[in-house]
Amino acid sequence: MTPTPEYRKTRVVIDAAQLDVLIANLRAQGYEVIGPTVADGAIVYAPLSGAGELPAGVTDVQGPGSYRLEKNGTALFAHVVGPHAWKRYLYPPEQLLFRSVRQGRNLRINEELELKRYAFLGVRPCDIAAIRIHDKVFADGEYADPGYSARRQAAFIVAVNCTRPAATCFCASMNTGPRARDGFDLALTEFSDRGAPEFLVEVGSARGSQTLAKLKHRPAGEDDLKRADALLAAAARSMSRSMPSGIADAIEDHLEDAYWDKIAGRCINCANCTMVCPTCFCTTVEDVTDLSGDIAERWRKWDSCFNIDFSYIHGGSVRREASSRFRQWMRHKLDTWHDQFATSGCVGCGRCITWCPVGIDITEEARTLTKG
More confident residue, 291 or 204: 204
- For the four alpha carbons of 154, 55, 174 and 202, in that order, the dihedral sign comes to positive
The answer, yes or no, to whether residue 372 has pLDDT greater than 80, is no
* The pLDDT of residue 113: 65
Residue 3 placed within a domain: no
Do 204 and 92 fall within a single domain?
A: yes
* The pLDDT of residue 166: 96
How much of the chain, in percent, has pLDDT values that exceed 90?
83
How many Å apart are CA 196 and CA 253, to the nearest integer?
53
Residue 148 domain boundaries: 8-237
The answer, yes or no, to whether residue 1 has pLDDT greater than 60, is no
Do 228 and 264 fall within a single domain?
A: no
Residue 43 placed within a domain: yes
Residue 180 placed within a domain: yes
Do 311 and 209 fall within a single domain?
A: no
Do 14 and 115 fall within a single domain?
A: yes
Looking at the DSSP bridge assignments, the partners of residue 12 are: 201, 219
Which range has the worst mean pLDDT, 3-17, 134-148, 166-180, 327-341? Answer: 3-17
How many Å apart are CA 98 and CA 354, to the nearest integer?
36
* Last residue in a domain, options 185, 209, 237: 237
Do 225 and 309 fall within a single domain?
A: no
Do 12 and 112 fall within a single domain?
A: yes
Do 24 and 105 fall within a single domain?
A: yes
Do 56 and 143 fall within a single domain?
A: yes
Do 283 and 361 fall within a single domain?
A: yes
Which range has the worst mean pLDDT, 102-111, 119-128, 162-171, 348-357? Answer: 102-111
* Last residue in a domain, options 237, 264, 290: 237
Do 224 and 150 fall within a single domain?
A: yes
* The pLDDT of residue 89: 97
The answer, yes or no, to whether residue 4 has pLDDT greater than 90, is no
Average pLDDT over residues 261-288: 95
- Band the pLDDT of 49: cuts 50, 70, 90: very high
Counted domains in the chain: 2
Do 227 and 254 fall within a single domain?
A: no
Residue 1 placed within a domain: no
Q: What is the pLDDT of residues 6-37, one digit of tens each?
A: 777 799 999 999 999 999 999 999 999 999 99
Do 34 and 86 fall within a single domain?
A: yes
Residue 2 placed within a domain: no
* Last residue in a domain, options 237, 271, 295: 237
The answer, yes or no, to whether residue 116 has pLDDT greater than 60, is yes
Q: What is the pLDDT of residues 224-255, one digit of tens each?
A: 999 999 999 999 999 999 999 999 999 999 99
